[in-house]
Amino acid sequence: MNKVRDILRSSKGFTLIELLVSVGILSVVVAIFGTGMFQVLSIQRFWTDDVNAVREVRHAGSWFAGDALNATDVFDDGGVTRLTCAPDPSVEQITLTWTDTAGAAHNVVYSVIGDELQRDLDSNGTPLVMATRVVANSISFTLCGNTLRLNIDVLGDRNTTDSLDLITYVRKLS
């Protein structure tokens, strides 16, 4: 035990070389760890943005299908002309109309404004944003018989595109 105390007493500390070597090794370890963490966080952000784009598209499709099942008629821009089988890229708005069981008439308008797909029910307040980052001129609505179709592309991160091709029935079509 006395030998250990003698050795510890005679020790004066680290030399400058030892200190520089240890700092250099520590710097390399921190750089490797930091680079790895940066890559993990970047990949996580990309996946999160892609998942959000897919979620928005599915959410919009769910609302659209629910409204279509109630609809008694489907009109294009302006709510005047009935939608047809021929896709018209200039049509960026459709109106679904129906009367509920209480006899109240409803109009729901789906429209593309800027890069957003919006749903406006009976013009009550602010339209509900269904999807953001909609790719320009990617949306189309068609009505063949009682089959209503919605095609839409949404831009994800890294310029990936998530598409929705929803085919639903207009159950109460007049």
Residues 148-163: what's their mean pLDDT? 78
Kindly state whether residue 60 falls inside one of the protein's structural domains. Answer: yes
What residues are paired with 129 via a beta bridge? Answer: 118
**Residue 19 structure tokens:** 């200190």
Q: Provide mean pLDDT across the span 101-117.
A: 87
Residue 26 maps to a domain: no
As to burial, measured by CB atoms within 10 angstroms (0-12 exposed, 13-18 middle, 19+ buried), residue 71 is: buried
Domain assignment present for residue 143? The answer is yes
Domain count, the chain: 1
The answer as to whether 13 is a domain residue is: no
- Percent of all residues in the chain with a pLDDT value above 90, rounded to a whole number: 4
Specify which residues 98 forms β-bridges with.
106
Residue 161, pLDDT > 70, answer: yes
In a domain, 7, yes or no: no
Q: How far apart are CA 17 and CA 95, in angstroms?
A: 78
List the domain range (segments joined by +) for residue 65.
43-169
Q: Is 159 helix (H, G, I), strand (E, B) or coil?
A: helix
In the chain, alpha helices (H): 2-10, 16-70
Phi and psi torsions of 70, nearest 5°: -90, -20
